Amino acid sequence: MKYAVLADIHGNREALEAVLEAGRARGAERYICPGDLVGYGPDPEWCLRTLRKLGAAAVRGNHDAAVTDFSRLKDLNDNARSAILWTAPRLRPGDLEYLRGLPLVGRAAGAVLFHGTLADPASWKYIFTPEDARPSLESLEGNLGFFGHSHRPGFFRLRGGEVSFSPGGKIRPAPGERVLVNPGSVGQPRDRDRRASFAVYDRERGEVEIVRVGYPVEKVQEKIRAAGLPDWLAVRLARGR
């Protein structure tokens, strides 16, 4: 069985459509989402409902949490807050209830799912460096976890007490090692590559591959501006940052 791992979708319909097509072309039949289905982008309802229809195994991201609890807005920057306040009234009560009910930590296909850090999932801290990843790797039950939040794809590996990082490609965890995979962001990449990023997990082979796919960025930019969302949310899509 193959799984498409889709993190940080952020209401970007065109990017989600592109990665779903690319995932199907690679044989993905099921879906995993390590959080942030909404926020930033102009099509939150479509993205959320699509993932729900696909039966994706999902956990709650910080934007998913904020759209259901405005007390969390203080933890976001101005552009993110504006996008949440724009998004919330466009979601139906059932959609909000779904997001509110998502766990902070979950399991799917033998892997652990979380958004920010496994060691402290409610803090929404980021994993950028090997040392950032160490507490979560040491907390990991099993040998594989999927996470998001930084919008930067890559693999963190714990072997023999040492943590290493690689930014992409394909990996097969070796016996005795633990691996955390950030599939990158579907809807708002931040590694200076504007292409949508996701991962394909082949459970039978024990392999995870990070995949990049282009999508019509300019179309999404037009929709962001037409919606009255902050202009920086459109600008950054073309810059991949």
Q: Tell me the per-residue pLDDT of 157-175, one tens digit each, with 9 for 90 and over.
A: 999 899 999 998 999 988 8
Q: First vs last Cα of the chain: how many Å apart?
A: 33
Q: pLDDT for 126-155, tens place per residue?
A: 999 999 999 999 999 999 999 999 999 999
173-195 burial: b if 16+ Cβ within 10 Å, else e: beeebbbbbbbbbbbbbbbebbb
Domains of the chain and CATH, by start: 2-239 (3.60.21.10)
| Angle subtended by helix axes 13-25 and 44-53, to nearest 10 | 30
Q: pLDDT for 37-79, tens place per residue?
A: 999 999 999 999 999 999 999 999 999 999 999 999 998 999 9
pLDDT on residue 86: 98
Which amino acid makes up residue 145? Answer: G
Q: pLDDT for 47-58, tens place per residue?
A: 999 999 999 999
Q: pLDDT for 175-197, tens place per residue?
A: 889 999 999 999 999 999 999 99
E strand map for 133-177: 144-146, 154-159, 162-166, 170-171
pLDDT on residue 88: 97
Measuring CA to CA, how many Å separate 207 from each of 30, 171, 200, 239? Answer: 15, 6, 8, 30
Q: pLDDT for 1-44, tens place per residue?
A: 999 999 999 999 999 999 999 999 999 999 999 999 999 999 99
pLDDT on residue 232: 97
pLDDT on residue 3: 98
Instruction: State pTM to two decimals.
Output: 0.96
